[in-house]
Structure 1
Amino acid sequence: MRPLAPATARGRTRGPVLLAGLALALVAVVLLACATGAYSVPPLQVLSSVLHRVGVDVGTMPDPTGETVLWEIRFPRVVLGALVGASLACAGALMQGVFGNPLAEPGVIGVSSGAALGAVAAIALGVSGFGGWTVTGAAFLGGLVTTLGVYAFSRSSGRAEVVTLVLTGIAVNAVTGAAIGLLTFFADDAELRSITFWNLGSIGSATWPAVWAVAPVAALGLLAAPRFARRLDLLALGDHPARHLGVDVERLRLVLIVVVALLTSAAVAVAGIISFVGLVVPHAVRMVAGPGHRLLVPASALAGAAVLIAGDLAARTIAAPAEVPLGSLTALVGGPFFFWLLHRTRARQGGWA
């Protein structure tokens, strides 16, 4: 892999412009998502309502029904969507850096399937030790334990090679998939509906408690990720050059895998399985921002938040009053885009042979 190009004046200018553009796009999508629904609230009234809550009385306030809709339904849903989208996209950017492959995504190391197994097991076995948080906690714990297990099983002679991690992740994904299938087979009708809805992915049941539950973990991962940008850039040169430049490659991989597990498990625990956001968003951002992780990581988080909020808006409006499962919608859009990325990558490497 060729060395990273040095920063130029154009590159230093492009970064702030890109981040500012993504931030503005996120604000616009948030206002549109909060304004749109069965009970419409004009975007300016949405903004006035938010400003009023922070002590700035400007503009026209929504009527009491509009206020209730915004603060009890729309805002928690949009905030949760932003946290889930940012977490998945940031985790995807980190995974692509760890594996040195722009087609990598968090599911490669089993974190998504592990979280799914934890949630399905809690539903099918009737576990309820933590009340309404049992399924969420089981999903988070399942994703974290599975990821650490993949890393432990892939270590040999004190090291965990990328190829071994991938192969171990494939095996674990197969085992967890079989376990989910068995649990689903023996579930009753009520449990089956719950499992199916959870596996399809949705943020339709968002509440402020769900937001507060995922926010600390997501914030921890999102704040920690940019701190590894320089070492990820050095890792892109290869393991041996990175070691010569002072990077503890094994420790870096372990820490980043834990960060990815935290981000992805938290997202899956509250939203179910939402496919392709962790793959498509960071790859698309890389095409614009370049390979430098100092810009790629925060840009991916902003873009992921905007994409997921926009996807959820489409999911609840294109077939209104019914709601399309968000995970199915992202898969329908992300699948063809993934095939295009795969073809483009293979073509650049000299064909399909």
Structure 2
Amino acid sequence: MALHLQQGRRARVLTLALLLAAVLLGALGAAVGSTGVERLWQLVDDPIAWQIVRDIRLPRTTGAWLAGALLGLAGAVAQGLFRNPLADPWLLGSASGAGLGVALALGAIGGSPAAAAWGVRLGLTGAAFAGAVAAVLLTLTLARGAQHTLRLLLAGVIVGMVLGAIKDLFTLSSADILQALVVFMLGNTALVGWNACAIMAVALAGCLIAARLLAPVLDGLALGEATAASLGLPLPAMRAALVAVLSLATGAAVAQTGLIAFVGLAAPHLVRSIVKTTHAGLLMLSAFMGGALLMAADLLARWLIAPQELPVGVLTAVLGGGYLLFLMHKRSRGGGR
């Protein structure tokens, strides 16, 4: 009982810490630009500078938190659904589907470099989301539904490889789209505006509510298929609902920011290393952790080689991969003792 109370207290402290980190990182995100760190109170008297903060930096920073939260939530759902701590949001082929959708859209518009234009941006966003959803539906078709986790996982791997190969072949035949496609594949928060933030906020709210309702299913699955079934849980329908949450969260994030690696994989790991909780708490904390991680990565991407920027997806891959390698090394040393 005392341990349960201690873990509950630790979960509340972690929640407050992550929310405070989001506020502080948001303030830094509004102050960091191509010229370095600026003082926000000095920007209020400069209408042009304030417009840059209001229309570019604030939506970009907010969008980074929302996309990170969606990926963190999707990662926690994937790891619970597949009962594998190495599962990530891309397991159902959504990344390859989104990449193929963007490649086809770029080919249709002639590989225009004006990706920031509203019409083109909306086209790429819709193509990425449609491609991600189509890939998940294809995975579900090949796996004959979501009843068998292993079959679903294998189908996702196959779909991801096939769609990725088709995207590469299409790119080779239309080399003029390569530069714009690389920007999407490396992940980028620079083009996120308030409209994109609104879309991701609605998706995040819906996914959090659905995931919270489905958390007991993940708790049951953690005890094994037979135990979950003995609890009277309608596993086929609830698995399908979890796949829908995973797909919507992943698709909404990737459509707005491109492919950002390791956030969905690392966020649940970080939460579990700090606090032991049920999936109801893990899902929410993973979302908050993912948001803070991507906000921090976005700040580093803007600041490290200013006035130029690093692709935020590259930075998250390096930092996330380094963290997981450290974690593996630590566990292997512990197991060796």
TM-score, length-normalised on structure 2? 0.90
Q: Distance in 1 between matches of 2:277 and 2:148?
A: 22
Q: Give 1:251's aligned amino acid.
A: A
- Given the alignment, which residue of 132, 135, 145 partners 1:143? 132
Q: Distance in 2 between matches of 1:6 and 1:345?
A: 27
- Number of residue pairs the alignment of both structures matches: 328
Q: 2:205 aligns to what SS in structure 1?
A: helix
Paired position in structure 1 for 2:238? 252
Paired position in structure 2 for 1:63? 46
Structure 1 residues 151, 339: closer, same or farther in 2, change over 3 A?
farther
Paired position in structure 2 for 1:169? 156
Paired position in structure 1 for 2:8? 12
Paired position in structure 1 for 2:292? 306
1:132-165 C-alpha deviation (Å, 9 max, x unpaired): 411111111111121122122113xx76322212
Q: Distance in 2 between matches of 1:79 and 1:166?
A: 32
> Is contact 2:61-2:295 (8 Å) kept?
yes
Paired position in structure 2 for 1:192? 178
Q: Give 2:140's aligned amino acid.
A: Y
> Is contact 2:11-2:277 (8 Å) kept?
no
Structure 1 residues 11, 72: closer, same or farther in 2, change over 3 A?
same
Superposed counterparts of 1:217-236, under 5 Å? 217-236=203-222
1:228-281 C-alpha deviation (Å, 9 max, x unpaired): 222211211011101111211111211111111101111111111000100011
1:36-59 C-alpha deviation (Å, 9 max, x unpaired): 22354425x39xx9xxxxxxxxxx
- Given the alignment, which residue of 310, 317, 320 partners 1:334? 320
Q: Distance in 2 between matches of 1:171 and 1:297?
A: 27
Structure 1 residues 258, 159: closer, same or farther in 2, change over 3 A?
closer
CA RMSD of aligned residues (A): 2.4
Q: Distance in 2 between matches of 1:241 and 1:290?
A: 21
Long gaps (5+) in structure 1: 50-60
Paired position in structure 2 for 1:32? 28
Q: Distance in 1 between matches of 2:70 and 2:184?
A: 18
1:42-85 C-alpha deviation (Å, 9 max, x unpaired): 25x39xx9xxxxxxxxxxx4532332121011111011111100
> Is contact 1:98-1:232 (8 Å) kept?
yes
Long gaps (5+) in structure 2: 113-118
- Given the alignment, which residue of 287, 301, 306 partners 2:273? 287
TM-score, length-normalised on structure 1? 0.86
Q: CA deviation at 1:342?
A: 4.2
> Is contact 1:111-1:146 (8 Å) kept?
yes
Q: CA deviation at 1:117?
A: 1.4
> Is contact 1:119-1:269 (8 Å) kept?
no
Structure 1 residues 139, 6: closer, same or farther in 2, change over 3 A?
farther
